[in-house]
């Protein structure tokens, strides 16, 4: 049997190829590569999809987190609380504003932000909490209510997910998302967006993403050059029309993995937090001797991976925060056990059976 990739972008491209080609031909003919009606159309479509009032397209997901924080005027001297168990971009964006990332541990069952730890980490300088909807399931943001601290969702892995019926992106005061190619809604390059129901925040992100410029050559303040480009907007609109279907296919694949793993006690299946409708950006199991198991899967052509192997506080980038090994024990333990299995909307039952066959061999 041929290898099974972690994510298969080619089979997804086949489904939108004609639409993208037509849309791109129009952009090329108009030679209008930045901005234009395609970008505003996508922003409106994605805002509707997430059921928020405003979507502002930006250059990538990392900038989206930073711009959302800057909309809140967060900067040096401020603190933002976020999970140690996330992709580095979340903490990087906080640090780039000049604020201090205050890391907290994660829940041992769901691997999501530990809300009690987050509440306990809030102090007089805390200007935002940044929960991450890791692996496609929303963090329990309602447990962060009542602190008087804005919530900025990192929704990069959760396009279309819901918590108690509310879409990821609409659970906090602002949200950031990424359309990196491998995300559930992926562009053909870098792209991202900020979501909010607050018109003033949206306006501020629009200003900041384009040189702090309300009108050409007028610069109210220092900004960025971080825009969603027109060619990407065409791809994203074409894919957005199919996203609910693709997410449903991911859900069905997750259900199938759950069933295939039911009799394999050596493998811990993912736990869904009650109230969540995840979109299964990743299907992450836990095993003992993960590195050996991973190597065996990879050797058999199965593109399993680890998200993420090094907790943020143990990376070179964030060593300066001064947290020794042992500071976030749950995150550290999970980093040695987690294993992401291949999952994409078009994965077949035969492919999933093969993954579990090889995994069963490896863990026994
Ligand atoms: C992908 C990702 C980002 C960053 O997005 P980029 O578009 O790659 O900058 C931020 N946070 C999380 C949790 C992500 O998975």
d(Cα 182, Cα 188) in Å, to the nearest integer? 9
One domain for residues 117 and 141? yes
- Ligand 1 neighbourhood includes 86 CB (under 6 angstroms): yes
In this prediction, residue 1 carries a pLDDT of 65
Distance 89 CA to ligand 1 centre (A): 6
In a domain, 1, yes or no: no
Determine the structural domain holding residue 122 and report its residue range: 9-238
Beta strands in the chain (DSSP E): 54-58, 79-83, 100-104, 126-129, 152-154, 162-163, 166-167, 174-178, 192-196, 276-277, 283-286, 338-341
Residue to probe by mutation, ligand 1, list 86, 154, 209, 305, most atoms within 8 Å of CB: 154
In a domain, 3, yes or no: no
One domain for residues 233 and 85? yes
- Tokens found for residue 234: 């065409």
Last residue of a domain, one of 205, 238, 271: 238
- Ligand 1 neighbourhood includes 180 CB (under 6 angstroms): yes
In this prediction, residue 100 carries a pLDDT of 98
One domain for residues 215 and 335? no
Domain count, the chain: 2
In this prediction, residue 18 carries a pLDDT of 98
- Tokens found for residue 63: 């900038």
Last residue of a domain, one of 194, 223, 238: 238
One domain for residues 187 and 308? no
d(Cα 69, Cα 50) in Å, to the nearest integer? 20
One domain for residues 279 and 229? no
The residue behind tokens 């602190």 is 147
d(Cα 7, Cα 295) in Å, to the nearest integer? 18
- Ligand 1 neighbourhood includes 331 CB (under 6 angstroms): no
In a domain, 123, yes or no: yes
CATH number at residue 355: 3.90.1150.10
d(Cα 14, Cα 348) in Å, to the nearest integer? 16
CATH number at residue 91: 3.40.640.10
pTM of the model: 0.97
d(Cα 356, Cα 184) in Å, to the nearest integer? 23
One domain for residues 44 and 73? yes
One domain for residues 328 and 209? no
In a domain, 165, yes or no: yes
Distance 61 CA to ligand 1 centre (A): 5
One domain for residues 233 and 343? no
In a domain, 2, yes or no: no
- Tokens found for residue 83: 């999970």
Distance 149 CA to ligand 1 centre (A): 23
In a domain, 14, yes or no: yes
Express each pLDDT in 248-285 by its tens digit: 999 999 999 999 999 999 999 999 999 999 999 999 99
Distance 216 CA to ligand 1 centre (A): 30
Identify the segments of the chain with pLDDT beneath 70: 1
Last residue of a domain, one of 203, 238, 273: 238
One domain for residues 359 and 210? no
- Ligand 1 neighbourhood includes 90 CB (under 6 angstroms): yes
In a domain, 298, yes or no: yes
> Which of 137, 141, 142 has its CA nearest to residue 156?
137
- Ligand 1 neighbourhood includes 85 CB (under 6 angstroms): no
In this prediction, residue 2 carries a pLDDT of 80
One domain for residues 107 and 213? yes
One domain for residues 189 and 207? yes
- Ligand 1 neighbourhood includes 83 CB (under 6 angstroms): no
In this prediction, residue 238 carries a pLDDT of 98
In a domain, 124, yes or no: yes
One domain for residues 287 and 210? no
């Amino acid at each position: 049997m041929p290898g099974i990739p972690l994510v298969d972008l080619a089979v997804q491209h086949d489904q939108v190829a004609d639409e993208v080609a037509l849309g791109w031909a129009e952009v090329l003919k108009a030679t209008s590569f930045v901005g234009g009606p395609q970008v505003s159309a996508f922003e409106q479509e994605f805002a509707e999809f997430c059921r928020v009032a405003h979507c502002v397209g930006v250059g990538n997901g990392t900038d989206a987190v930073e711009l959302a924080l800057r909309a809140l005027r967060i900067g040096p001297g401020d603190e933002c609380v976020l999970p140690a168990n996330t992709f580095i971009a979340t903490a990087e964006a906080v640090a780039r504003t000049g604020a201090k990332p205050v890391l907290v541990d994660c829940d041992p069952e769901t691997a999501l932000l530990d809300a009690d730890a987050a509440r306990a980490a809030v102090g007089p300088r805390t200007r935002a909490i940044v929960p991450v909807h890791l692996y496609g399931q929303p963090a329990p943001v309602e447990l962060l209510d009542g602190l008087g601290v804005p919530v900025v969702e990192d929704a990069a892995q959760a396009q279309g997910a819901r918590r108690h019926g509310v879409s990821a992106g609409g659970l906090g005061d602002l949200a950031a998302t990424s359309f990196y190619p491998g995300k559930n809604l992926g562009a053909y390059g870098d792209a991202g967006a900020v979501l909010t129901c607050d018109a003033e925040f949206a306006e501020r992100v629009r200003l900041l993403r384009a040189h702090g410029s309300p009108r050409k050559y007028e610069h109210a303040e220092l900004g960025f050059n971080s825009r969603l480009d027109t060619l990407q907007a065409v791809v994203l609109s074409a894919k957005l029309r199919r996203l609910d279907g693709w997410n449903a296919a991911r859900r069905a694949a997750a259900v199938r993995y759950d069933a295939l793993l039911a009799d394999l006690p050596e493998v811990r299946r993912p736990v869904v937090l009650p109230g969540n409708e995840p979109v299964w950006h990743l299907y992450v199991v836990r095993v003992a001797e993960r590195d050996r198991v991973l190597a065996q899967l990879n050797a058999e052509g199965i593109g399993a991976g680890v998200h993420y192997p090094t907790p943020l506080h143990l990376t070179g980038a964030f060593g300066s925060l001064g947290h020794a090994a042992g500071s976030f024990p749950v995150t550290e333990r999970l980093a040695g056990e987690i294993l992401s299995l291949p999952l994409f909307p078009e994965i077949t039952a035969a492919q999933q059976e093969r993954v579990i066959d090889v995994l069963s061999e490896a863990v026994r």
